[in-house]
Homo-oligomer: A and B are copies of this chain.
Amino acid sequence: MNSIATRMMLEKGVEIVGAVARSEAKVGRDLGEVAGLGRELGVVVSDDAAEVFRRTSPDVAVVAINSYLEDAIDQLRICAAEGVNVVTLSEEMLYPWETSPELAEELDLAAKRSGATLTGTGYQDTYWVNMIGLLMGTAHRIDSVSGRASWNVDDFGPELARDQQVGATEAEFQEWLENAQRPPTFGRNVLDALVADTGLTPTSIKTTTRPDIASSATFSQALQTEVPAGHVIGMTDVDEICTAEGPRFVFEMSGRVYSEGDGDINEWAIAGEPDVVLSNGTVPTQLTTCTQLVNRIPDVINAPAGLVTVDKLPRLRYRARPLHEYLA
């Protein structure tokens, strides 16, 4: 993700003044080399974010490290303390107010104190929040909002494949599920954002999970192993929020090893007056994660200080010109 975003930023006229990584394999090397650009950028990867921030005074930090706020908090704390705006791919940062309220409030206060804006964006910005918020805006009455999405476990490396229980038997999956201490799903953050966008009052929140079972032997690229028929190739989390006013929000997210012909889907249906639907065919999730991370940069620099979620930002726009031309 960082490699793709680096190329896209350069193509949009962004001057990259620093780069930070944790891995010894990256620190000390030129960013252009680390990002596979085939040329040097004159930017050496550092392992000291605070030092880089003080030396370069960047307009924004692009942070793509972790998914959960608990894991991302150390890096975000440094950005907030140093007054550096952030766009991050941390999925929980999409809308962390309900799932990590204390960390969200701490970051919000720190960012307001230093004048920084912190925003979680990525694929879900448009495809799961703002486009669905817009679709909801074309309804007179909403009874329910239902979304279905999928992602390919093989796109995200072996660690996530193991997290998704790829290769387990159904019995192993059920045993794991019963004892699993899983953090809230990212679907939960999506629904939290959508419910907040409507101003409705959540009354109950639940997540149920079912295994996705291989109907025939399926090779997992991420694990470099074949999953036998009848074994687990991933799972589907179903998040559901009911509201005091009536409307119900449901999001089914399936993360599994794809077979030939499978692709990421994004399908939403609103039942009410009138019924309306939306589909994005086969979505290029990885690329649109990076495009939104980059295209959001001017909005985040322009936004007021604090933890500002994407539902509060202006409607995302195509950036035909260098990004700095969109700064207020």
Contact = CB atoms under 8 A, between A and B. Distances in A.
Given A200-B320, A294-B140, A288 B315 contact: no
Interface stretch (A15-23, A73-81, A129-137): A129-137
A33 interface: no
A265 to B, nearest CB: 12
A133 B295 CA distance: 13
Q: What does DSSP make chain A's interface, helix, strand, loop or mixed? A: mixed
Interface stretch (A59-67, A162-170, A268-276): A268-276
Interface string A241-270: 000010100000000000000000000000
Contacts of A136: 317-318
Contacts of A294: 140
Given A274-B291, A279-B279, A321 B199 contact: yes
Nearest to A4: B140
Contacts of A315: 130, 133-134, 137, 314-315
B273 A287 contact: yes
A8 interface: yes
Contact of A134 (B12, B141, B316): B316
Interface of A: 8, 11-12, 126-127, 130-131, 133-142, 197-200, 245, 247, 273-281, 283-284, 287-288, 290-292, 294-295, 314-318, 320-321
Given A126-B135, A199-B320, 20 more contacts: A8-B140, A11-B140, A126-B134, A126-B138, A133-B315, A134-B315, A134-B316, A136-B318, A138-B291, A138-B292, A138-B295, A142-B320, A198-B318, A200-B320, A245-B320, A273-B287, A274-B287, A274-B291, A277-B280, A278-B280
